[in-house]
């Protein structure tokens, strides 16, 4: 997705889009991509817990992420995220 590295406040890349100028799909994907990156193992670091990732996403609302997308993300219960993760071979810890 071309625009998922744009930030809601316009400080992202590749074009510096801000707010609603960034397509909704990219704004949704940005939250999903960061959540996945934080909660899954990477060669350079261990995953963090769901709670820590949730706090990061909430803290970045209005800056990195669209507040409406963050609100929707935060309404999804841990059990649903854990089930989705499990179906994809990932163990999500609540923390």
Residues 57/65, Cβ–Cβ less than 8 Å:
yes
User: At residue 79, what are phi and psi to the nearest 5 degrees?
Assistant: -55, -35
Report how far residue 78's alpha carbon sits from residue 90's, in angstroms, rounded to the nearest whole number. 14
User: What confidence tens digit (pLDDT) does each residue in 30-63 have?
Assistant: 999 999 999 999 999 999 999 999 999 999 999 9
Q: Spell 37-61 as b/e; 16+ CB within 10 A means b.
A: ebbbeeeeeebbebeebbeebeebb
pTM above 0.85, yes or no: yes
60 vs 39: CA distance, rounded Å: 16
């Amino acid at each position: 997705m071309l625009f998922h590295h744009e930030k809601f406040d316009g400080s992202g890349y590749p074009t510096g889009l801000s707010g609603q100028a960034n397509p909704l799909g990219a704004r949704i994907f940005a939250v999903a991509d960061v959540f996945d990156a934080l909660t899954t193992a990477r060669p350079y670091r261990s995953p963090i817990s769901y709670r820590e990732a949730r706090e990061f996403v909430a803290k970045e609302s209005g800056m990195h992420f669209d507040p409406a997308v963050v609100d929707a993300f935060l309404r999804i219960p841990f059990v649903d995220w854990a089930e989705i993760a499990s179906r994809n071979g990932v163990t999500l810890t609540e923390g």
